[in-house]
Amino acid sequence: MITSEIKKLPNSQVEISVSASWDEWEKYLEIAAKEYSKEIKIEGFRPGKAPKDMVEKKVGKGALLEAAAQQALRATYAKVLTEKKIEAIGAPKAELTKLAEGNALEYKIVTDVLPVLTLKPWRKAMEKINKEQLKKDATVTEKEIEKELEDIAKSRVQHITVEREARDGDNVVLDFTVKQGGVPIENGTSKSHALILGRGVFIPGFEENVLGMKAGEEKEFELTFPVEYHAKNLAGKPAQFEVKVNEVQERKSPEVSDEFARSLGKFKDLAEMRKNVAEGMAEEKKNELKEKKRTQYIESLIELAEVELPEILIHEELHKMIGEFEMQLQGMGMTFDQYLAQIKKSVAELEKEWEPQAIKRVKAALALEEVVKSEEINVPAEEVEAEMNKTLAQYKKVKDIEKNVDLSKLYTYVKGTMQNEKALELFESIK
């Protein structure tokens, strides 16, 4: 017989006190003995075949009882979770409180459980957001279109070599060496370095000294590195600069015209290009407004949600956030360790800083899940499978991809994502 008592603890934890009668857990002595006999050598018996009394003699009664108790604990704990409908998460902390041959086995387990979220009425909040959204206009103005056309032209700027002094806005190609005490500093020499004057990318004073120079001219000058300069060995210290200008180039943007539109290879004239740009900008603005509205939905749900979050869910979300950030950094050619060194923070400090955001993300996920449940939002299995196949198709060139993907987890993830999308669509439909 198994009896249990459940005590609720703060932060979505429970303490489970369990008592398993001797009749219930005695059988685990044989199981423990069999496991032990696989690991120890007993003369005259093959691994796993030695009888219990021989194993007990070899390892001691206390050790065998302890092993049997652990086996019984795992089995009876699972039964209690099922019977009591407890959704435990994470690794439980167990403590044996009574262990004696011929007596009931008693233990206590503290475990995190899936939190129970209470969501206050949310329809009026969504209705208010939708009404406010109607006041916002996704129309693109002529001024915005003209600026976008100019930006496109600037992105295709031409560099024209000129025989004059360098001016603000020019691109100069130069060689330079930075020295301290007459000795070049580490990474302080560069050849054919392109620099757009006026952008302020070098230390203060460098570009000012290059202004007015012509191709072929050389110049020496001294500057002091800023006190907050990233290289501490140079911060606040003077250095000597030797510069030679190889080329001065005027940066000229093409004129926004029919010819320019045709040069892009997609349009017959400027009118067609303008129409295409306007449509693209309108769609982009429309999507921006939609995303902002959906962000408001989520923020509203978070405010309406009441829940005690277990630490494990917060830590798992922080781990996920760091993983996502690492992927972004990789795209920029930087490692996570390099980033931490740059901001001068440890992983623990970063996690503490990000914890409020992690809490919001967990609350949002649980709140959406509650909406899906209460509104009985479901997605047919065939739709989920079709979406899964799209995902798998993206990796079809990867050998044995289906063997390396947990299809059950992928199904759950895809279904959850599709249900959340339907919940957001429901919010959008509320008038």
Question: For each of the chain's 431 residues, which pLDDT tens digit applies?
Answer: 899 999 999 889 999 999 999 999 999 988 888 887 777 777 667 666 677 777 677 778 888 899 999 999 999 999 999 999 999 998 899 999 999 999 999 999 999 999 989 999 999 999 999 999 888 888 899 999 999 999 999 889 989 999 999 999 999 999 999 999 889 998 899 999 999 999 988 999 999 999 999 999 999 999 999 998 888 889 999 999 999 999 999 999 899 999 999 998 889 999 999 999 999 999 999 999 999 999 999 999 999 999 999 999 999 999 999 999 999 999 888 899 999 988 889 999 999 999 999 999 999 999 999 999 999 999 999 999 999 988 888 776 555 555 667 788 889 999 999 999 999 999 999 98
CATH code of 157-252, in short, is 3.10.50.40
Three-state SS letters, 23-84: HHHCCHHHHHHHHHHHHCCCCCCCCCCCCHHHHHHHHCHHHHHHHHHHHHHHHHHHHHHHHH
- CATH 3.30.70.1050 occupies which residues in the chain? 2-114
- CATH 1.10.3120.10 occupies which residues in the chain? 289-429
CATH code of 289-429, in short, is 1.10.3120.10
Domain range 2-114, CATH class: alpha beta
Structure-token pair, residue 25? 């857990």
In angstroms, the Cα distances linking 295 to 128, 256, 301, 329, 358 are: 14, 37, 10, 24, 15
Q: What is the Cα–Cα distance from 174 to 248, expressed in whole angstroms?
A: 9
Contact status, residue 301 vs residue 119, Cβ threshold 8 Å: yes
Contact status, residue 203 vs residue 222, Cβ threshold 8 Å: no
Contact status, residue 310 vs residue 13, Cβ threshold 8 Å: yes
- CATH 3.10.50.40 occupies which residues in the chain? 157-252
Report strand pairing: 171-180 vs 118-119.
unpaired
Comparing CA positions, the residue from 29, 6, 37 lying closest to residue 100 is 29
Query: What amino acid is encoded at 96 in this protein?
Result: L
pTM over 0.75: no
Q: What is the Cα–Cα distance from 318 to 349, expressed in whole angstroms?
A: 12
Helices (H), 140-269: 142-154, 206-210, 258-263
